[in-house]
Chains A and B, each alone.
Chain A
Amino acid sequence: MWSNDPMAATVYDICIVGSGFGGGISAYALTQLGLKVALLEAGGRLRAGVDYGHHLKPWEMLERRLAAGFTSPVDSAWDLREKDHFTGVGDRPDHGWLKALGGRSLCWAGHSLRFGPGDYKRWPISYDDVAPYYTRAEKFMGVYGYKDGLWNMPDGAFSKGVPMRCAEMMLKRGVERLKKKGARMEFVAQRKAMLMERHPSGRPLCHFCGKCGGCCVDAKYTSANTPIPAAMRTGRLTVLTDAAMTRILKTQDGRLVTGVEYTNSKGQTERLMAKALVLSCNSIETPRQLLLNNLANSSGQVGKNLTSHFGVHVIGVFNDLIDRRAPNDEGTGYYHSLLTGLYWDEPSKEFENTYQVQCGAGLLPWRLVSTPRGYGSAFKKSVYEENAAQAGMNMQGTLVQSPRKFVDLDSDKKDRFGQPRVRVHLHYEDEDIRMAQDAVNRCEEIIQAGGGRVVATPGRIDASKLIIDYNHWVGTTRMGTDPRTSVVNTDGQSHDVKNLFVGDASVFPRYPEKNPTLTNVALSWRMAERLAEKMKRGELA
């Protein structure tokens, strides 16, 4: 039976708020298990190849892009993101929010890496608890990759891998040479959620255009192109777009949630009642909603333990490659390779966490990384040669969690519904700076060991040179077994309000160097199954 009219069902089994990675997979898992689900999304629908992801020539695109305030002729779903929706405090924090059906899954780069057994040592659940969900998630999303046999970034259910480019092989050469001298690290090809083989979702195969910030044909996994359509086909999912939740409704004693209030596209307030609520608003908006509604915070930990990835870039040029003709380096986006395995076996004495380095290469006219000095024919020659022979190394390290990194409410600035905006507090610690310095030194060493020369480097690091990854925030509703020190339990269920669940990366209690999304999807899937079991056993009423 189809259930696309909210009026038809006065009380849903579940209301999910947010249709990004966490919300999309939760909707899929819960409807597969027979539950009636309403999915609320603040944004509208954006269509691949129509609203973003145009394959026009740059000279055809340029004027309309300049007129819209952009300088690049290549468009991406990310261009449509929210601006000025939060208050940053400290070292230039930022926050990414794409308000649309699918959230930031529309514009993500697809990197899909498992966290490993070593990473889960500091979690209240183990790698083995999550491993089956990783396998399912990889199959469902369509992740490609090679089997690398790395203990702390385990192989998964991959479709066929995508190879590295020439300059990335030079970096690998540098890594292998340094390993012979005792360095402990690995250099492998990337793993991404883009279709290399036919897939049950019916998404088309990737055609290697490299414009993955908004895949024009939906070859890249998004919540909007895979789990949400599949959930719709069960007839048990109602999707409400342009519906921003503005309040969480509770029972009088505050022990249970009963539904939500939201504002529709006409600015009218509506109510939606449900037996359980899943928040998948993202790691900044989910804690904001809990704080606004004074909910699930007996531990005082909502908004705390904030962490993300941060980094710096180093670029090298390899003289061995300057003569190469490079007609098509696009591939599946810039990064085809990864430096990893750093400090897995023996932690650094200088910093608590570790980093990985996403590496890319190639002659990409949209993304010239090197503009040599001079002009005339010599300049023209070196623009080609240096860019054909360049490799870029982008550090992605984990910020140390500290009391100076957190999320709270801004009592001065309000959003369009008159509610306090969120404040994001970021202050780099010395430890963060030491990690970035270690990464810069290592990248320079690898480039040189591979036979290259460093053409761009931040050199000596201070906080002003660090770049925050504003799409990788996690930790703000951390999971744990002790209700005094954590917000949700190991099933993603609030310790305080038993029919309230969190399905996004804010539940991560610790953060390795790896990208968050595959784990977000795996954990949200796991959460959804636990929720369904508890509901069927009558434990949520």
Chain B
Amino acid sequence: MERRDLFKIIAATPVLEAGQALAQHQHASTTGPFPGETGYKMKFLTSAEEPVIDRLADIIIPADSRSPGAHDARVVHFIDLFAHYGGPAIQQRWRDGVAAVETESKRRHGKAFASLDRAAQEAIVATMASNEGNPGTALEHFFALLKQRTLDGFRYSRVGLDAYFGYKGDIPSREFVGCNHPEHQRV
């Protein structure tokens, strides 16, 4: 019998208030720069692909009166991570998707997507989105992936979480208020 196999449990810790306990619990070590931050280094997207994805994402979630958009949130960093860790098949979909956008841009305007004005870029996105839910062309299939990952990157970003959602859920609270609106409670 190995003594190492035995496990002794430390007696329960004294009562901690909610916030205190959270502050005390150990955080895993972290290393930045994280996606969304200055200094983030691209892992998968090329320097030619990056501005294309950045703009496509920003057309899907633009800055408006509600909040900054995907460009400000650097959603392109998040998409870079999703693609990098997504494995070869997913990576190919991103690569082929950007290539399809470039082909369409050349066909319509004879130049690269990044050099088009925003209105022309938005017109291409309109085509990509035209059969949402029932995609047929390469552009339409790419739109589904692009839109999902743009939303994911945005909701996981500091800009998305703070400015758009106004999220306070990861701040420890002493109380959960719940619905306190009498009008919601009337039958």
**A residues within 8 Å of B by Cβ?**
4-7, 45, 48-50, 53-60, 62-64, 66-67, 71, 73, 101, 162-166, 168-170, 172-173, 176-177, 180, 198-199, 201-210, 216-217, 219, 224-226, 228-230, 232-233, 238-243, 264-266, 268, 270, 320-321, 325-332, 336, 363-366, 368, 371, 373-377, 379-381, 383-384
- B48 interface residue per 8 A CB criterion: no
Q: Complex formed: what's the CA distance from A326 to B168 in Å?
A: 9
CB of A371 within 8 A of CB of B151, answer yes
Instruction: Say which residue of B36, B85, B125 sits within 8 Å of A67 (CB atoms).
Output: B85
Interface status of B16 (Cβ within 8 A of chain A): yes
* Cβ of B95 under 8 Å from chain A: no
Among A101, A210, A325, point to the contact of B166 (Cβ < 8 A): A325
Residues of B within 8 A of A62 (CB): 34-35, 78, 81, 156
User: Separation in Å of the A420 CB from the closest CB of chain B?
Assistant: 26
Expressed in whole angstroms, the Cα–Cα distance for A376 and B59 within the complex equals 6
A282 to chain B, nearest CB (A): 20
Q: Is the CB of A327 within 8 A of B167?
A: yes
Chain A residues with Cβ below 8 Å from B78 are 59, 62
Nearest chain A CB to B171 CB, angstrom units:
7
How many A-B pairs with Cβ below 8 Å? 238
Q: In which size bucket is the chain B interface?
A: 35 or more
Tell me whether A202 and B15 are in contact in the complex, defined as CB-CB below 8 angstroms, given that A209-B170, A217-B21 are known contacts: yes
B174 contacts across to A, CB distance below 8 A: 205, 207
Q: How far is the CB of A9 from chain B (nearest CB, A)?
A: 12
- Complex: A319 Cα to B171 Cα, angstroms: 28
B120 contacts the other chain (Cβ, under 8 Å)? no
User: CB distance B158 to A176 under 8 Å?
Assistant: no
Out of B6, B13, B36, B185, which one reaches A238, CB within 8 Å? Answer: B6
Cβ of A331 and Cβ of B176 under 8 Å apart?
yes
Complex Cα distance, B175 from A509, in Å, reads 40
Identify 12 residue pairs between A and B in the complex whose beta-carbon atoms are under 8 Å apart, listed by A's number.
Answer: A6-B1, A48-B25, A163-B176, A163-B177, A180-B187, A198-B15, A204-B18, A208-B176, A217-B25, A375-B125, A380-B69, A384-B165
Q: Which B residues are CB-close (under 8 A) to A329?
A: 169
Q: How far is the CB of B41 from chain A (nearest CB, A)?
A: 11
How far apart are the CA atoms of A63 and B81 in the complex, in Å?
7
In the complex, what residues of A have CB within 8 A of residue B82's CB? 66
Which of B13, B21, B67, B125 touches A207 (beta carbons < 8 Å)? B21
B22 at the interface (CB under 8 A from A): yes
Could you tell me if B6 and A166 are in contact, using CB atoms closer than 8 angstroms? no
The 8 Å CB contact of A4, one of B6, B18, B21, B125, is: B6
On chain A, the residues within 8 Å of B8 by CB distance are 4, 232, 239
Residues of B within 8 A of A73 (CB): 156
A325 to B133, CA, bound (A): 29
Chain B residues closer than 8 Å to A203, beta-carbon distance: 12, 15
